[in-house]
Structure 1
Amino acid sequence: MHEDLLQAYDDQLRGAAELHGEVDVERLGPLWLAQFRGDRGFITYRSLPADAREIADLVDAALEHFRERTAASSVEWKTRGHDLAPGLEDELLERGFVAEEPESIMVGRAEGLVADVDLPQGVEVRRASSVEDIRASYEMQGIVFDDPDWRSRAEDAVRRRESGEQQELWIAVADGAVVSTGRLEPVEGTDFAGIWGGATLPEWRGRGIYRALTSRRAEVALALGKTLINSDSTEFSRPILERSGLVKVSTTTPYVWTR
Structure 2
Amino acid sequence: MTLLTIEGLSAGYGGAVAVDGVSLALKAGETVALLGANGAGKSTLLKAVLGLVPARGRVVLDGVEVGGLAAEKRVRLGLGYVPEGRRVFAGMSVRDNLEVASFAGTAERGRDLERVLALFPQLREKAGERAWRLSGGQQQMLAVGRALMGRPRLLLLDEPSLGLSPKVAGEVFAAVRAIAAQGTAVLLAEQSARRALAAAGRAVLLRLGRVVHDGPADALDAEALRTAFLGDPILGDPIPGGSESS
Higher RCO, 1 vs 2 (CA within 8 Å, ≥6 residues apart)? 2
TM-score (norm 2): 0.33
Where is the strand percentage greater, Structure 1 or Structure 2? 1
Query: Which entry has the higher C-alpha Rg, 1 or 2?
Result: 1
